[in-house]
Amino acid sequence: MAIIYHASTREFHLYNRRISYIMQVMENGQLGSLYFGKKLADRQGLRGLGRTPSGVRPHAVFVREGSFLSLNHVPREYPSYGTGDFHDPAFVIEQENGSSVSNFTYVSHKIYAGKRELDGLPATYTESDTEADTLEVLLEDAVSGVRLILRYTIFSALPALARSAEFVNAGTCPVTLKRAMSMSVNLPDADFDMLYLCGAWGRERYPTVRRLAPGIQSIGSMRGISSAEYNPFLLFKRPGADEFAGEVYACSLIYSGNFLMQAEMDPFGLTRVLAGIHPNGFSWRLQPGERFQTPEAVLVYSREGLNGMSQAFHRLYGRRLARGPWRDRERPIVINNWESTGFAFDEKSILALAETARKLGVECFVLDDGWFGGRNSDRAGLGDWTANRKKLPDGIGGLSRKINAMGMKFGLWVEPEMVNPDSNLYRAHPDWILHVPERSISPSRHQYVLDFSRPEVVDAVYEMLHTLLKDADISYLKWDMNRYLTECYSVTKQPWEQGKVFHSYILGVYRLCKKLLADFPALLLESCASGGARFDPGMLAYAPQAWCSDDTDAVERLKIQYGTSLAYPVSSISAHVSAVPNQQVGRVTPLQTRAEVAMFGVFGYELDFNALTVEERQEIAGQISFVKEHRKLLEYGTFWRLLSPFGGGEAAWMTVSESGEEAIAAYYCILNRPNGEAKRLKLKGLNPDRSYIVDGDRGTVCPGDVLMEFGLPIRPEPSHDFSSRLFYLHAAADAGDDFKK
Ligand code: DGJ
């Protein structure tokens, strides 16, 4: 890995064994893009290969008289609008005279080993300086005096690059950022399909593919959080690329608030990809001396298809975005009471459920919504984070100690960003919510959003949560968020500061997470937003796992977990076995299938064990002991998607240990076919030179190359809808010729 600056040609080359990223300082002093893709040998003089337009360009606008440099035709690193480039820009900076014209030119750069933290924002990191190198390019707009720092970090072991931009008002007048994207990148040509994760509550993150076409195509959120509708993740793949082969360019934004990601293809084949904070509702005034840091964006380039791309994100986000002691630790198997009790529980029923859970091997009891204030429905109580003594006479402290005494950890649900109008907190501080004076607040789940852009509001919530965590034995906190932001206005801010509210709100959320984790470093945070409406890399930096969806039906979860795995590691995907008929879709699936889907996530249960038969409880005890035995592999192995649940009546995926010695593969028959063909599943990631004992198929011993090229027979063959087969493979002591049918 290296970052080279060729002074004579003013070219930057960032590369590792797999990728190269090349830029140049152009003749007008601005930073131009040259190449991003498979690794190239380092050499200088590549600027000659740049997209200098040839032939007649009737509408071209040139940078000066006598020059043929037309900014509309040449890709730039962080493009502006107003001087001849007519595409959507990376930034808009309005100056005192009302103009947004700027000209940021190269001043200097520095290259250093490792990576710096981003002020107030979650970001990828390194644990040693050998893991990455960083380039910071300083540019300046001479007229306004504003400076711009573009940061690029290349990771040594991954085909990944992290980018962000920082504005510093080193001038003498205020300026206002109207748009400040995290990055702009150019695809090499226009021959791509665009894939993004789209959905809604209960069906989050379905992969959606469309052909890249001239014009702007975009995804984003203006809901205040990243949302269930679109995820801050976007990729471009060659039309023939699939899960296993082909070129993929992917971009992910480490951010949980309003975002915009778009591709703009022009009639000349230039395709500009932008990612960052959504400009709608955003404006940020910078007084002289003030700075603004954008969130970080991550680019991954893969020639190994979608799985290769995902595996790079899994490693980076699982190991160098998630933090804290839980990052690499096997996660506790939980029972969460929400789907079995809703708001209707008391200490006795909770302890009865916990006792059975303990006997089955469950490790943590998570008490969900309804334990606090006047919370007997979703109409009251949010904001009052003290126990409802009618339900829990000994409070959370007493209950947590009783659960701990049983030998289980205790987890608790909170929704820190919200308040019900029917709550003591709201009665005491009606002005603490986001609202526009004299205007009504659009209702949603009978709750209002606390104004987390105000430090004093965040501090007050921090005090309440701190007291709660200090006074009880709480190992796990499920942090929920159940409404989108509307009337996003902060009464303590000046009119010209209102464009800061959405972003400051999310910074407040990050600050609260960080503060609580600093006080309680052993705490395991699980993020949640009506299921998966804030499942994004920003939250992942604090909460290493997230409740993936309120839809726990096994068939629906196959799709949701499949889509989620495109960008996020299995160790971040919280997945529970729930009762049938399923609450969301009414489907009845076997207990085995429900568990064998949830096992490819952070495993747990969401049902009433005491309402099950003895046989069902025995089956559950078996599932739990299997997960405990193979949890490291399930949560942290290399994950491969094999068959898409969106393709038809079946699905499959697998995980392989780092050494290649162990693997678990799962095949799901969604809709059975009579008299079907004998099924074989082509496995991936095994050692072709080793033989594997296949548990789940009568202990067959089979060479790795055969399993990958010919396939693993699916036996016994599925005989009904919604069935699953799980295969545990481990390398045989002696390799080779013991292959038997
Ligand atoms: C939405 C979450 O996704 C559920 O799991 C549950 O915690 C409810 N909120 C509680 O209100």
DSSP 143-188: TT-EEEEEEEEEESSSSEEEEEEEEEE-SSS-EEEEEEEEEEEEES
Same fold yes or no, 77-320 and 643-731: no
Which residue's C-alpha comes closest to atom 10 of ligand 1?
369
Residue type, 587: R
Mean pLDDT, the chain cut into blocks of 10 residues (741 residues total): 94 97 96 96 81 71 91 95 96 98 98 97 98 98 98 98 98 98 96 98 98 97 98 97 98 98 92 98 98 98 98 98 98 98 98 98 98 97 98 98 98 98 98 97 97 98 98 98 98 97 98 98 98 98 98 98 98 98 97 98 98 98 98 98 94 98 97 89 97 85 97 91 96 62 43
Phi, psi of 187 (to 5 degrees): -75, 155
The two structure tokens encoding residue 612: 């099950």
The two structure tokens encoding residue 51: 């997209």
Nearest atom in ligand 1 to 547's CA: 3
The two structure tokens encoding residue 449: 């959003």
Q: What is the pLDDT of residue 738?
A: 47
DSSP state of 511: H
Tell me if 547 CB under 6 Å of ligand 1.
Answer: yes
> What count of Cα atoms within 13 Å lies in the side-chain half-sphere of residue 388?
23
Q: What is the pLDDT of residue 404?
A: 98
Neighbours of 424 (CB within 10 A): 14
Going by DSSP bridges, is the β-strand pair 160-169/146-155 parallel, antiparallel, or unpaired? antiparallel
Q: What is the pLDDT of residue 51?
A: 62
Nearest atom in ligand 1 to 531's CA: 3
- Integer Cα distance of 193 and 250 in angstroms: 12
Tell me if 480 CB under 6 Å of ligand 1.
Answer: yes
508, containing H or E segment: helix 501-519
Phi-psi category of residue 319: left, alpha or beta, with phi > 0 → left and psi -120 to 50 → alpha = alpha
**CATH number attached to the domain at 334-636:** 3.20.20.70
187, 109 Cβ separation under 8 angstroms: no
Closest CA to 217 of 228, 208, 226, 205: 208
Q: Is 228 exposed, middle or buried (0-12, 13-18, 19+ CB in 10 A)?
A: buried
> What count of Cα atoms within 13 Å lies in the side-chain half-sphere of residue 507?
17
Q: Is 119 exposed, middle or buried (0-12, 13-18, 19+ CB in 10 A)?
A: exposed
- Integer Cα distance of 4 and 43 in angstroms: 10
- Integer Cα distance of 489 and 493 in angstroms: 8
| Cα–Cα separations (whole angstroms), residue 351 to 63, 357, 394, 436 | 74, 10, 13, 45
- Integer Cα distance of 605 and 608 in angstroms: 9
DSSP state of 372: B
**CATH number attached to the domain at 77-320:** 2.70.98.60
Contacts of 523 (CB under 8 A, 6+ apart): 469, 474, 475, 476, 477, 516, 517
> What count of Cα atoms within 13 Å lies in the side-chain half-sphere of residue 101?
6
Tell me if 482 CB under 6 Å of ligand 1.
Answer: yes
357, 349 Cβ separation under 8 angstroms: no
Tell me if 414 CB under 6 Å of ligand 1.
Answer: no
Say whether the peptide bond before residue 581 is cis (omega within 30 degrees of 0). yes
Q: What is the pLDDT of residue 55?
A: 66
Task: Report CA(531)–ligand 1 centroid distance (Å).
Answer: 7
- Integer Cα distance of 355 and 363 in angstroms: 11
Going by DSSP bridges, is the β-strand pair 215-221/418-419 parallel, antiparallel, or unpaired? unpaired
Tell me if 411 CB under 6 Å of ligand 1.
Answer: no
Closest CA to 80 of 148, 136, 15, 12: 148
CATH of 643-731 given 2.40.128.30, 2.40.50.140, 3.40.50.11030, 2.60.40.1180: 2.60.40.1180
Task: Report CA(1)–ligand 1 centroid distance (Å).
Answer: 45
Active site residues: 480, 550
Nearest atom in ligand 1 to 528's CA: 3
Sequence spans of domains, the chain: 77-320, 334-636, 643-731
Task: Report CA(484)–ligand 1 centroid distance (Å).
Answer: 15
